[in-house]
Amino acid sequence: MNEVAGRIILGVDPGTASTGFGVISVQGNRLRAVEYGVVETPAGMPLEKRLEIIFAGVADVLRKHRPDATAVESLFFNTNVRSALAVGHARGVTLLACSQAGCQVFEYTPLQVKQAVVGYGKAGKEQVMEMVRALLALSEVPRPDHAADALGVAICHANSSALHERVKRSQASALARRTTG
């Protein structure tokens, strides 16, 4: 059972060598970092063993914090197909761990994360990391980078889900007015 009041969101920045995770608590407008870090796998280890480590690590975080939702950075495909495939494998085992834990998954592009955290979709990595620090009232920028990125994905979901809830309430209210009026 969560000892932290409010909504709990797990953010994940998948990667085969290092999968970042960030757990935040959301209470009204207040965001707080609960835990963050990375699940690392040794270089040279067979892919299936690396994926097993990632799956177990994400499953542990899910069991420990029982998040209300998991936000995962969506696959960004550029010219490096090999890198995209590796990230895709890490995303797959992350999604499986979430499914087995019964945790709903939401996906966000890097552009959406930057817009939600910094307010500018083409913000640099350092800008995003500094805003993550500021929004979570941390004394220093979270390290390693993948953990900071995961916290950014969680913040993106916190901001996006709050907006979606307001829109749903507004639509429900408008529908109620039309049916009673």
All structural domains of the chain: 7-180 (3.30.420.10)
| Phi–psi pair at 137, nearest 5 degrees | 55, 45
Q: For CA atoms 116, 73, 105, 151, give the dihedral sign.
A: negative
The total number of residues shown for the chain amounts to 181
Kindly state the DSSP code that residue 75 receives in the 8-state scheme. Answer: P
Kindly state the DSSP code that residue 1 receives in the 8-state scheme. Answer: -
**Residue-wise pLDDT tens digits, 151-173:** 999 999 999 875 555 545 555 55
* Enclosing H/E stretch for 18: strand 18-27
pTM: 0.85
Q: Got the DSSP string for 28-73?
A: TTEEEEEEEEEEE--TTS-HHHHHHHHHHHHHHHHHHH--SEEEEE
pLDDT at 2: 43
Looking only at the bridges linking them, the beta strands covering 18-27 and 30-40 are antiparallel
The average pLDDT across 140-152 equals: 95
**Residue-wise pLDDT tens digits, 80-133:** 677 778 788 999 999 999 999 999 999 999 999 999 999 888 888 899 999 999
Place of tokens 């507004």: 170
Taking a C-beta distance cutoff of 8 angstroms, is the pair 150, 12 a contact?
yes
Q: Please, which residues have CB within 8 angstroms of residue 120's CB and are 6 or more apart in sequence?
A: 114, 127
| Phi–psi pair at 34, nearest 5 degrees | -100, -50
With bands split at pLDDT 50, 70 and 90, how would you rate the model's confidence at 142?
very high
The span from the CA of 113 to the CA of 95, in Å, is 19
**Residue-wise pLDDT tens digits, 25-65:** 999 889 999 999 999 999 999 999 999 999 999 999 999 99
pLDDT at 163: 55
